[in-house]
Structure 1
Amino acid sequence: MQLVALQMHASSIWADNRCTLASLLEQLPSARPLLVLLPENAVVFGNREAVLSHAEYLGEGPIQAQFSDWAKQHNIWLVVGSMPTHIEHQDAIHATSLVYNEQGQRVGHYHKLHLFDVDVADSQGRYRESDTFSAGEELCLIDSPFGRLGLSICYDLRFAHLYNALREQGAEILLVPAAFTQVTGQAHWQPLLQARAIENQCYVIAAGLVGEQGSRPTWGHSMIIDPWGEIKASLATGSGLVTCPLDSAHLMNIRRQMPVAEHARFSTTWRNK
């Protein structure tokens, strides 16, 4: 079994991003089964108007149909890092991660819980995701041939209790698609990812956007980290694939030898709705 994080530069135009994704997916390793994670904003990376123009209802629209087709064509489990989705009966959208199995069936989705409303010392300066998106309300875990997948998106990475809750509900692989800024990425991206892997004894797959769109520079540095916190593969800059074999026995050995989940004196209070 192989894990893949795809790193790319994205624009505000889906047709361009579709071409980039198609080219990179053609470079996938031949081993199957294969779990492929795309970055946050792989569909559209731009201003509010661009994002709204690409929003689809869950299960409807040509963008989702394309991802389903790619999953079938390449015989892969494909995780779309995020795309804008309409909220039924509301004038609002979510940033949504979508999971497709090798038959092209959507087997789960996750609406981003934590919205990036912060000030950063970069060329953009002010980020307000809540001007465009509504926050999600639920955790998402998905059973797969690779183990139980725990979903998250970008800014979620800073909230350890989210990942603790995913681990309590059986997560073995944590997915972190992102468009981290260069400033925050250089400071915190790698240590946060390693911390989430170590404290939860999970594989972490982190797929990032790279390069600059308008005034927003992104960090890249996609990587796959094992449950001991070791970086098994990474790509600092440029578009490409980060690949790593999945060693489930290694994960189980770490958890057996250091059973931190059993030793924990505190538990999250999160409840699925």
Structure 2
Amino acid sequence: MASLAHLGTLLLGGALQILGFGRWMVAPAAWLAPVFLLHYAREAPLGGLVVLWLVLALAAGASNRGVIPLKGLGYGGVVAGIAAAMTVPFLMDRLFAAQPGGVWSTLVFPVTWTAVGFLTARFNPFGTWGMLAYTQHGIGPLMQLASVTGIWGIDFLITWFAAVANWAWDLHFDWSLIQNGVAFYGAVLGLVLVGGGLRLALAPHRATVRVAGLAWPEGVPESGEYERVLAAVFRQAIDDQVRESMARLQEVFFERTLREARAGAQIILWSEASVLVLKEEEEALIERARSLARANNVYLLMGLAVLSPGANRPLENKAVFVSSAGEVMASYNKTMAVPGLERQLMTPGTGRIPVVETPYGRVASPICFDLDFPHLVRQVGVAGADLLLVPAADWAAITHLHQAMAEFRAVENGTAMVRVTRSGGSGAVDPYGRRCAFLDSYTTEDAVLVANVPARAGSRTMYTRVGDLFAWLCVFGVAVLVVRAVAGILG
């Protein structure tokens, strides 16, 4: 009966895990899944951790189908790696905290979880995909913790809850034994939520700037047309039809830009690589944009795919920012290429994200996948940015997920943000992660996001000052545990 109970605990935890990060993000499931998985890991034989890894792999496979753009063995390999990283904190807890002890023993699991998540995100090509904190999107007071510790403090709180719950479970929920530990955790969680609530309540009101974000309208480009043009350019097979497709896409965006400027937009943003242009024609296209911006007194950020047929890396994924006076204020090449075809073809940027002064505050423009790397984006917070203008490109399965992930960068760095995807979910938030607007391009024809976002609203957060210090402290804590264990074996 005991083994069946343990198996039931494992399956319940696995089912809840499916509702964690991925296609279905249910905030309470992210808190509850580790409770049951950790209980199984403590009660099962040591070899049961292999079964735990398998369940975690199955859960990750189910929840990330379509989210991770891979198939077959490639998809299976990534899912297996995710599950392996997730299993490490359970192993550490089993080795160092499985026997009921003081409340301090509950720190082993969250410290290890946070350290593993941080190191994995920092040194793997997919960044922070899969982090627990993103499942808490929309819970405003909790999201504010990201302005202090980054997303790592939220991951820590969630997994610490699991450890405290299991500590109490191991002590048969005897209140006389667990009251101090439960009160301690409750006080920390309460302090975070109250502090976050106060941060939201005391947020100053600011004047706003009207921003229009242009995604791909329905039918432009035609199905498969964008990919055909790219393929032709990379094959150096540029004919009149290819040039016509590129010119038509450019014309659509210039016409829509003019329309939004006349409608009152003060800043206009194109989605990522929305417009294709040959390298030798880039200067002429930018000159046209300069004339339009100057004539209509509007700031324009263009998401361009600049193509150089025959080059070793023929794609420049660029954000070019033009002032209302017609000056090119910044030109930035995307730093982080998505693993796969983009990484093979794209000329990466220098990693320096320009921050420029405008009447609406200091503006920076990282591009899409850049935002999945908090340490990269932090530089704009350090530089005092007020507004992030983010060209992006997604796909249907991540329409809501990727926008939610990106909004944590605004909270971390104390900046407003407008992020526009050429297909997928676009949104605008204030520096506290509160949404000003949202657009699902799959449910609209014209696909224009219009938002009034706070101007000059940036504020230096604790995260911009100390960065990932909290996460590094967790790494240090794991290192101490391992060193002590090795010393005990040798000594």
SS at match of 2:325: coil
Closer/same/farther in 2, CA of residues 259 and 131 from structure 1, 3 Å limit: closer
Query: Post-superposition shift, 1:69?
Result: 2.2
C-alpha contact 1:85 1:96 (8 A) present in aligned 2: no
Between the aligned partners of 1:19 and 1:36, the Cα distance in structure 2 is 15
SS at match of 1:63: helix
Match of 1:28 among 260, 282, 295: 260
SS at match of 1:69: helix
Partner residue of 2:405? 192
Consecutive unaligned residues of structure 2, counting only runs of 5 or more, are 1-208, 227-244, 471-491
Partner residue of 1:213? none
SS at match of 1:229: coil
Instruction: Choose 1 or 2 for highest CA Rg.
Output: 2
Query: Post-superposition shift, 1:173?
Result: 0.8
Match of 1:55, as an amino acid?
L
Closer/same/farther in 2, CA of residues 143 and 32 from structure 1, 3 Å limit: farther
Between the aligned partners of 1:22 and 1:150, the Cα distance in structure 2 is 22
C-alpha contact 2:334 2:366 (8 A) present in aligned 1: yes
Partner residue of 1:233? 437
* Greater RCO, CA 8 A, separation 6+: 1
C-alpha contact 2:372 2:406 (8 A) present in aligned 1: no
SS at match of 1:116: coil
User: Does the alignment pair 1:208 with 2:430?
Assistant: no
Closer/same/farther in 2, CA of residues 192 and 265 from structure 1, 3 Å limit: closer
Match of 1:130, as an amino acid?
R
SS at match of 2:259: coil
Identify which range, 90-99 or 24-33, moves more after superposition: 24-33
SS at match of 1:117: coil
Partner residue of 1:68? 290
SS at match of 2:409: helix
C-alpha contact 1:194 1:229 (8 A) present in aligned 2: yes
Greater share of strand: 1
SS at match of 1:61: helix
Between the aligned partners of 1:62 and 1:110, the Cα distance in structure 2 is 18
Consecutive unaligned residues of structure 1, counting only runs of 5 or more, are 45-53, 119-127, 211-218, 268-273
SS at match of 2:255: helix
C-alpha contact 1:24 1:241 (8 A) present in aligned 2: no
**CA RMSD, aligned part only?**
2.9
Partner residue of 1:245? 452
Partner residue of 2:278? 55
Partner residue of 2:428? 224
Query: Post-superposition shift, 1:7?
Result: 2.0
C-alpha contact 2:213 2:269 (8 A) present in aligned 1: yes
Q: Deviations over 1:183-225 (max 9, x none)?
A: 2334x21221221111111111111112xxxxxxxx2x22111
User: Does the alignment pair 1:18 with 2:226?
Assistant: no
Q: Deviations over 1:54-90 (max 9, x none)?
A: 3326x9532222222221232111000233166xx98
Query: Post-superposition shift, 1:19?
Result: 2.9
C-alpha contact 2:262 2:296 (8 A) present in aligned 1: no
User: Does the alignment pair 1:129 with 2:345?
Assistant: no
Partner residue of 1:50? none
SS at match of 2:378: helix
Between the aligned partners of 2:313 and 2:404, the Cα distance in structure 1 is 37
Identity, % of aligned pairs? 20
C-alpha contact 1:112 1:136 (8 A) present in aligned 2: yes
Partner residue of 1:40? 272
C-alpha contact 2:389 2:419 (8 A) present in aligned 1: yes
Match of 2:384, as an amino acid?
G
Between the aligned partners of 1:184 and 1:231, the Cα distance in structure 2 is 18
Query: Post-superposition shift, 1:161?
Result: 1.0
Identify which range, 60-69 or 139-148, moves more after superposition: 60-69
Closer/same/farther in 2, CA of residues 192 and 4 from structure 1, 3 Å limit: same
C-alpha contact 1:224 1:244 (8 A) present in aligned 2: yes
Between the aligned partners of 1:165 and 1:262, the Cα distance in structure 2 is 10
SS at match of 2:279: coil
Partner residue of 1:178? 392
1:104-123 equivalence runs, <5 A: 104-118=326-340
Instruction: Normalising by structure 2, report the TM-score.
Output: 0.43
Greater share of helix: 2
C-alpha contact 1:113 1:135 (8 A) present in aligned 2: yes
